[in-house]
Amino acid sequence: MKIIAKVRMLAACLLCLLLISCSSITFVQVEQSGEQKNHSRWHHATLNGMVEVSKPLDIRTVCHNKAWTKITTEHTAYNWLAEVIVPGLPNLLLYSAWTNQVQCHESPGS
Instruction: Please report the DSSP string for 31-75 in residue order.
Output: --SS--PEEEEEEEEETTTTEE-SPPP-HHHHTTTSPEEEEEEEE
In a domain, 13, yes or no: no
Please report the pLDDT score of residue 16 as a whole number: 61
**13 phi and psi angles, rounded to 5 deg:** -65, -45
Residues of the chain with pLDDT > 90: what percent?
Answer: 25
pLDDT band at 5 (very low <50, low <70, confident <90, very high): confident
pLDDT digit string, tens, across residues 51-93:
999 998 888 899 988 889 999 999 888 888 888 888 888 888 8
pLDDT score at 13: 67
What is the domain range of residue 89?
23-104
Is 3 within a domain? Answer: no
Residue 60 lies in a domain: yes
Specify if 89 maps to a domain.
yes
Assess if residue 7 is contained within a domain. Answer: no
Q: In percent, how much of the chain has pLDDT > 70?
A: 87
CA 28 to chain centre: 17
Could you tell me the pLDDT band of residue 17, with boundaries at 50, 70 and 90? low
Where does 21-74 have alpha helices with state H?
59-62
Say what the pLDDT of residue 1 is: 63
Q: What's the structural domain count of the chain?
A: 1
What gap in Å lies between CA 69 and CA 93, rounded to an integer? Answer: 33
Q: Is residue 81 part of a domain?
A: yes
